[in-house]
Amino acid sequence: LKYLSTFRLYIIPHGSPPFKEEYSNINVSNDVFSLLNVFSFSPTHLQASARFALTSKTSKPLINAFNQIPGNETEKKTTLDQALRSVLGDQIHKASCDDYLSLIYLSIDAVTEGICSATTPFLLLGDVLDCLPLDQCDKIFSFVEENVSTWKSNSFYTAGKNYLLRMCNDLLRRLSKSQNTVFCGRIQLFLARLFPLSEKSGLNLQSQFNLDNITVFNKNEQESTLGQKHTEEKEEGMEVEEGEMGEDDTPAPCSIPIDYNLYRKFWTLQDYFRNPVQCYDKFSWMTFLKFSDETLAVFKSYKLDDMQASKRKLEELRASDGEHVYFAKFLTSEKLMDLQLSDSNFRRHILLQYLILFQYLKGQVKFKSSSSALNDDQTTWIEETTKLVYQLLREIPPDGDKFATMVEHILNTEENWNVWKNEGCPSFVKESDELTRLWNLNQDNMEACKSDSREFMPSLDEFFAEAIEQADPANMVEEEYKVVRNPNYGWRALRLLSRRSPHFFQPTNQKFKSLADYLDSMVSKLAKELPDIPSEEIKTGEEDDDDNGDNLLKDSNDSDKLVTNQQMDDIAAKLGAQWKMLASHLEMKAAELREIETDSEDVDMQAKLLLVAWQDREGTQATVESLITALNAAGFSQIADGLNEA
């Protein structure tokens, strides 16, 4: 069958038993060959059923046909898979999108009915998309998008995810990144919906840059149409060059003095955004710094006028019918420069590029080489410039403030993704054995929550019994030993009163100096109301501590017991100077050992510090059992035995 799935496309459409000679160059065993012979008889019948199923829009005829053909389940499924593909093959040059979609629907039904392989709908989709022109692929893809829940369901996801990924990549390869931006975006969005958040296949894991994205501009000053005047001479403002705009076009007059120098410096900066690593080179950095300062100075001195910008924006919106125009590359014609510099969107693009670059330069990136570090001057400059850039963004109309805030928010979120990547893209699903165990204690968790054993709130008489007893002068309990003086008790008493006693909410004119005084008065009120309690039943506050259910988690299994402080003291005393032998079995780092040694001279203390450090690190995993394992491994079996018996 493995061979079969590779060759069936070729073999079965012949409609007659294949001839062995045809495959003499392929190493097909005789068994496989006889299988092929059996199969080649049935597809025509099945194809007819599939066509009938298509016209009648139900999968019934297919199920019937399926039951009639010979062979076991797998063989029959393979046959039907092939029949469906053949029907598609016959249609491919004459049918409409809807016909293809019906066929794919039929195959989805067939998968649900269990009569064809789960991969078939994807193979069919792939075939269709491969054969159709792009405008029709668009329609088919809408169907793929709308049925994302089907693809994600159990019966399809595993079988289809790789097919879908390949299909999407094939489509992306055919599409133009600059002309089919919307379709490309839809494909990306679809993939984002299909795959889980932590899926790594589309990730730029090594944080590589798109070095091919070079921004071309006129580097030859001689060929420039821009003046080469010095900035000083142009303070008055520069006239728009003749012939730059069409006659009907009346752009906002631009007062920014543009010469070839500014043009060159401005576009040279793009190279740093393309490949930020250059910034770590001393000389490149100097250039970057100089050009940036000049460019930003231009942005700073020539602000965009609110009125003018909003008007342009409105016109743009009207002209583009509300649709935003996106260019995958900057247009770098000299003639456009003044228009660009007075365009709010364009300025935003450039400023945002700065922020992205700075984030990279400052950030922790796993794949940055160790030489890629900023010096103090660079850090200071970046900090100042970041502030400047944000300020400039805020000043760009319309809605500058909103835009800047949004950008800041997005870049902060990006930081989280960087951290996630640095940590090796851990899954977002948190596994917890303990939680899994707790969930499975009872079949019905709602029922388990309602059970009496989950009722941890004591009754008033239980809780206050001791306080009432102590309040009785006959018992002669000294003030300082009363439980109401215990802040812990007081806190719990207040909580309990608020839940169980109406007294808590009654307004009173009495003023209490302390919580204990207040509780005293409450206790005397309660004493009058509550039934007498025999004193054997009285519980102390300390014992109550154990009633809060934590122990359910800890003591449920002896071997899960945590190492106690006492046990650590005992072991430390026994280990003494030999503690270092244990250290490596507790996976302590050399740095931690050095720290322990500097913290104390006393070897017993050092041994204790080691155990504490281990316990801090392991948390709930710092069990007696794992300590015993480590002790045994380090050759301290006697100490381990001592711990075992305890």
* Least separation in angstroms between CB 401 and ligand NAG: 24
Nearer residue to ligand NAG within complex by CB, 67 or 559: 559
Site for ligand NAG in 254-313 (CB under 6 A): 270
Please give the Cα distance from 438 to 623 (Å, whole number): 19
- Which residues does 38 contact at the CB level (< 8 Å), separation at least 6? 70, 71, 75
Nearer residue to ligand NAG within complex by CB, 29 or 559: 559
Site for ligand NAG in 145-164 (CB under 6 A): 146-147, 149-150
List own/partner pairs for 172-177 with CB under 8 A and 24 or more apart.
174/134, 174/137, 175/134, 177/328
* Least separation in angstroms between CB 508 and ligand NAG: 52
* Least separation in angstroms between CB 225 and ligand NAG: 21
Please give the Cα distance from 538 to 467 (Å, whole number): 10
Candidates 1-9, 143-151, 467-475, 502-510; binding stretch for ligand NAG (CB under 6 A): 143-151
* Least separation in angstroms between CB 311 and ligand NAG: 26
- Compute and round to an integer the Cα radius of gyration of the chain: 39
Nearer residue to ligand NAG within complex by CB, 214 or 317: 214
Please give the Cα distance from 318 to 304 (Å, whole number): 20
* Least separation in angstroms between CB 202 and ligand NAG: 14
* Least separation in angstroms between CB 18 and ligand NAG: 37
* Least separation in angstroms between CB 518 and ligand NAG: 46
75 close to 39: Cβ distance less than 8 angstroms: yes
The burial class, CB within 10 Å (0-12 / 13-18 / 19+), for 81 is: buried
Q: Is 143 in the site for ligand NAG (CB under 6 A)?
A: yes
Q: Which two tokens stand for residue 45?
A: 């019948």
Nearer residue to ligand NAG within complex by CB, 146 or 532: 146
Q: Is 433 in the site for ligand NAG (CB under 6 A)?
A: no
Nearer residue to ligand NAG within complex by CB, 550 or 599: 550
* Least separation in angstroms between CB 305 and ligand NAG: 26
For the CA atoms of 492, 496, 502, 505, the dihedral, rounded to the nearest 10 degrees, stands at 40
Nearer residue to ligand NAG within complex by CB, 352 or 460: 352
Nearer residue to ligand NAG within complex by CB, 377 or 555: 555
Please give the Cα distance from 319 to 348 (Å, whole number): 21
Q: Is 436 in the site for ligand NAG (CB under 6 A)?
A: no
- Letters for 616-645 (x = contact with ligand NAG by CB under 6 A, - = none) are ------------------------------
Q: Is 557 in the site for ligand NAG (CB under 6 A)?
A: yes
Nearer residue to ligand NAG within complex by CB, 150 or 632: 150
Nearer residue to ligand NAG within complex by CB, 149 or 222: 149
Under DSSP, the state recorded for 562 is B
134 close to 180: Cβ distance less than 8 angstroms: yes
- Which residues does 446 contact at the CB level (< 8 Å), separation at least 6? none
Q: Is 372 in the site for ligand NAG (CB under 6 A)?
A: no
H-helix segments, 132-255: 134-146, 148-152, 154-174, 181-194
* Least separation in angstroms between CB 195 and ligand NAG: 18
Q: Which two tokens stand for residue 528?
A: 């009058």
* Least separation in angstroms between CB 238 and ligand NAG: 25
Side chain identity, residue 329:
K
* Least separation in angstroms between CB 345 and ligand NAG: 12
* Least separation in angstroms between CB 621 and ligand NAG: 12
Site for ligand NAG in 175-214 (CB under 6 A): 210, 213
Candidates 1-9, 78-86, 144-152, 539-547; binding stretch for ligand NAG (CB under 6 A): 144-152
Among 274, 142, 145, which residue's Cα sits nearest to residue 215? 274
Candidates 140-148, 158-166, 236-244, 398-406; binding stretch for ligand NAG (CB under 6 A): 140-148
Site for ligand NAG in 457-516 (CB under 6 A): none
Percent helix, strand and coil across the chain, each rounded to 5? 70, 0, 30
Nearer residue to ligand NAG within complex by CB, 86 or 270: 270
Q: How many Cβ atoms from other residues are within 10 Å of residue 34's Cβ?
A: 11
* b/e per residue 484-505 (b: at least 16 CB within 10 A): bbbeebbebbeebbeeebeeee
Nearer residue to ligand NAG within complex by CB, 102 or 486: 102
Q: Is 215 in the site for ligand NAG (CB under 6 A)?
A: yes
Give the residue, chosen from 20, 193, 230, 329, that forms a contact with ligand NAG under the rule CB under 6 A.
329
Q: Is 57 in the site for ligand NAG (CB under 6 A)?
A: no
Three-state secondary-structure class, residue 533: coil
* Least separation in angstroms between CB 506 and ligand NAG: 49
Nearer residue to ligand NAG within complex by CB, 149 or 506: 149
Please give the Cα distance from 646 to 628 (Å, whole number): 12
Three-state secondary-structure class, residue 186: helix
Q: Is 559 in the site for ligand NAG (CB under 6 A)?
A: yes
Under DSSP, the state recorded for 47 is H
Q: Would the CA dihedral through 273, 278, 280, 285 be positive or negative?
A: negative
Please give the Cα distance from 558 to 564 (Å, whole number): 13
Q: Would the CA dihedral through 571, 576, 578, 582 be positive or negative?
A: positive
Q: Which two tokens stand for residue 624?
A: 């007696």
Nearer residue to ligand NAG within complex by CB, 352 or 496: 352
* Least separation in angstroms between CB 204 and ligand NAG: 11
Give the residue, chosen from 7, 190, 195, 330, that forms a contact with ligand NAG under the rule CB under 6 A.
330
- Label residue 315 left, alpha or beta by phi (over 0 means left) and psi (-120 to 50 means alpha): alpha
Q: Which two tokens stand for residue 232?
A: 């000083």
Nearer residue to ligand NAG within complex by CB, 28 or 351: 351
The count of residues interacting with ligand NAG (CB under 6 A) is: 13
* Least separation in angstroms between CB 620 and ligand NAG: 14
Nearer residue to ligand NAG within complex by CB, 421 or 608: 421
Three-state secondary-structure class, residue 423: coil
Nearer residue to ligand NAG within complex by CB, 41 or 330: 330
- Which residues does 83 contact at the CB level (< 8 Å), separation at least 6? 42, 43, 46, 47, 49, 50
Candidates 29-37, 142-150, 155-163, 610-618; binding stretch for ligand NAG (CB under 6 A): 142-150
Candidates 34-42, 76-84, 139-147, 598-606; binding stretch for ligand NAG (CB under 6 A): 139-147
For the CA atoms of 250, 251, 257, 259, the dihedral, rounded to the nearest 10 degrees, stands at -90
Residues near ligand NAG (CB under 6 A) are 143, 146-147, 149-150, 210, 213, 215, 270, 329-330, 557, 559
